Structure 1
Amino acid sequence: MVILSACSSDTVRPGVPNVPVNEQISVNSLQYPMLRQDGGYAYIQGGYRGIIVVRQNASTYYAFERACPYDPDANCGVVSADQSNLFLTHSCCGSQFNFQGAVTSGPAVYGLLQYRTSLVNNILYITN
């Protein structure tokens, strides 16, 4: 008799709750001056705990959920850009992520939840 236990694990990935995301912003808006330069970012409403939009270049933008994948329900903070503007960090657990959403330092082992982005003229559409 063989017993399979593939579905049980001591490490369960915490899930960021699935909420509808359908946002749009003008990347040239005076409201988001940092989105005019590569590596710039902006915080916007939406998602589960907010969204951070990161500009890689003039035609490529990323949008990430600000809830930390280590503990998405933590009430003590959200993922934000570090003062150096070189990485993203969660103030509670100390996890760090690069500007592409990948983990660079734990305790988080999963990257940031990424939303789809589409740039049409100067309007960035963010959806899931």
Structure 2
Amino acid sequence: MPRLLPLLLLFVAACAARDANIAADAQRRLIGLGADDLRLCSGVPDRRETSDGGEFWTYSRTPPSSGISLPVPITGGSMSMSSAGVCSVTFQLIDGRVTRIGYSAATEFGLNRDSACAPVVQGCLRMVEDGSVRTQ
């Protein structure tokens, strides 16, 4: 079992790194996405605010956790590590188009904080890739 621990830790870290890359990719590739397309691929926002800077749509999510739980024979307990977290994704829209995307996230694992935001933007990225929606 002790040999398995480093592999499991590496697996959890790799998943979190992949999701953090998805979140970072969205900050570039979703610029120019229209408001209707954003609603189509991410759903109705949890909160909307308007200011001189445009409209701000915020999506708050708690994605399913992924992690490991291992027994610790010496203490009789277990050790758990998870990449679970909560995320708020805020899209700034000007003239009905996404101009910026910001993340506010926290994870239990402590690495790749924005990885918890990937589920909010993954659907939009898929739709951009397959041509279902377009950015300008």
TM-score over 0.5 for the alignment? no
Say which one has the larger Rg: 2
- TM-score scaled to structure 2, two decimals? 0.29
- More helix per residue: 1 or 2? 2
